[in-house]
Amino acid sequence: MQKCNLAVDIGASSGRIIAGYLQHNKLVLDEIHRFENEMEEKNGHLCWDIDGLFQEIKTGLKKSVEQHYQPLTIGIDTWAVDFVLLDQDKNRITDAVAYRDHRTDGVMEEVFQLIDQKDIYHETGIQFQPFNTIYQLFALQKEKPDILAKAQYFLMIPDYLHYLLTGKITNEYTNATTTQLLKATNQTWHQDFLRKLNIPAHIFSEPSHPIQSIGSLTKDVQEEIGFNLEVVLPGTHDTASAVMAVPAQDTIYISSGTWSLMGVEHHEPISTSQAFDYNFTNEGGVHKNIRFLKNIMGLWMIQEVKREWNDQYSFAEFVELAYQASSFTSKVDVNDQRFLSPASMKQAIQHYCQETNQQVPKTAGEFAKCIYDSLVESYHHTAKEIEALTGKTYDSIHIIGGGSKNHYMNEKLAAVSKKTIYTGPGEATAIGNLLAQMMATGQIDSVEQSKRLINQSFAIKKF
């Protein structure tokens, strides 16, 4: 039996459970279980199948033992901002509504009538995204005030999954920062904002920092899976875990997945008026540092086009088709809000090109090239913003996550940015999750050691 730690990393399109252990100064990864994740229409809203996800986690736990592992700890990370509410008996009283649901359309502007937009930025340091938890809660308050009146506990998605495993209520810190409701100065819930928005303050608990155990499995879960283990808090926000796996420290990173999160690690928040204008965020890092970054629409755009093409082409094939469509040059502003949750991504891109008098993409290759070129252009522009905001010049960009395998984009970015592009590791988020568990259990004792371990264990490519 190989002892291991288990990372559960669930993204907007799939989830995976990965066993990790140290061997000969290397971090070894083994994928135990992989499953689909998608949004589905429920009670008039786009929702996540949260119960289904919990079943998949238990399946993964059982499979780990079948595959001859002895898991010592487990930790869960997912995307940010989404949540559920529990009543006083700890029963769930909301669906897990997805951030791309249209319940927050126009809500941000309503909130600005009650709290000055600049104050929100200044106090929290968090970027404006229409789907931030603050706007989702306000939308819920308007739609179903009775639910909020009954609520006793606020849990973000990984908090809820950790609760199902352990029975313990936590509000993990890195993810809590993405609510846009935590004060940047002292990491407490912003009582004044909550009062102004009529959101009950008692549903939030004091944020818990990652790299600590929150308890063992409930009796029920133990009976169902046949063994016990400790649940350890990683950075439950996937991006916080991913940033831990950036191989170097003084570099720009892009965590490339459904979203492209581009930024730097910083010791303190930058919430100047220029950062406000560029809409950069100061999210909480695992080591209490700041993830100063920008959300770029990311591979979501190609994921949607792929889906509309009935999955006829794989992601690797889209990359090949992009190379072949070399004469097609139309580009879109990837951060235009129309691409956040369109009924048809293909049509949204076509309309954008029409409106801006550019050639309209029709073939799969033209769509792929348009999306990749547009993303690269946005990366290039964002790198300049980062340099302006931090007052530093960076020689390199590290691309981590699944999207780091897109050679077309890596080559293009190297050419336009004139910076060295390093790519990998691809499983950055699961790695960061595992590193936090290994720190909590005394297998790794410093950030430097964890960075060394990443460089020794995974092939990093250079463009």
Query: Which residues are catalytically annotated?
Result: 238
Looking only at residues 17 through 46 of this chain, which bind ligand LFR when binding is defined by CB under 6 A? none
CA–CA separation, 336 and 225 (whole Å): 45
Q: Does the protein bind ligand LFR through residue 7 (CB under 6 A)?
A: no
What b/e string do you get for 23-46 counting C-beta neighbours within 10 Å, with b at 16 or more? Answer: eeeebebeebbebebebeeeeebb
Of 2, 1, 30, 36, give the one whose Cα is nearest residue 17.
30
Tokens 């010791």 locate to: 267
Q: Does the protein bind ligand LFR through residue 123 (CB under 6 A)?
A: no
Q: Which stretch binds ligand LFR (CB under 6 A): 109-117, 252-260, 352-360, 386-394?
A: 252-260
User: DSSP state, 337?
Assistant: G
Q: Which stretch binds ligand LFR (CB under 6 A): 78-86, 226-234, 359-367, 402-410?
A: 78-86
Q: Does the protein bind ligand LFR through residue 174 (CB under 6 A)?
A: no
Near ligand LFR by CB under 6 A: residue from 295, 341, 437, 457: 295
Q: Does the protein bind ligand LFR through residue 254 (CB under 6 A)?
A: no
Shortest Cβ 374–ligand LFR spacing (Å) = 19
In degrees, rounded to 5, the angle at the alpha carbon of residue 204 between the alpha carbons of residues 198 and 209 is 145
Q: Which stretch binds ligand LFR (CB under 6 A): 53-61, 207-215, 251-259, 348-356?
A: 251-259
User: DSSP state, 360?
Assistant: P
Shortest Cβ 211–ligand LFR spacing (Å) = 19
Do residues 370 and 329 lie in contact, with contact meaning Cβ atoms separated by under 8 Å? no
Kindly state the number of chain residues that form the binding site for ligand LFR, as judged by CB under 6 A.
Answer: 13
Q: Does the protein bind ligand LFR through residue 239 (CB under 6 A)?
A: yes
Near ligand LFR by CB under 6 A: residue from 261, 296, 348, 364: 261
Q: Quick one: tokens of 409?
A: 């984009």
CA–CA separation, 83 and 93 (whole Å): 11
CA–CA separation, 275 and 292 (whole Å): 10
Q: Does the protein bind ligand LFR through residue 81 (CB under 6 A)?
A: yes
Near ligand LFR by CB under 6 A: residue from 21, 69, 99, 367: 99
For 85, what's the count of Cα atoms within 13 Å in the CB-facing half-sphere? 24
List interacting residues with ligand LFR (CB under 6 A): 11, 79-81, 99, 237-239, 257-259, 261, 295
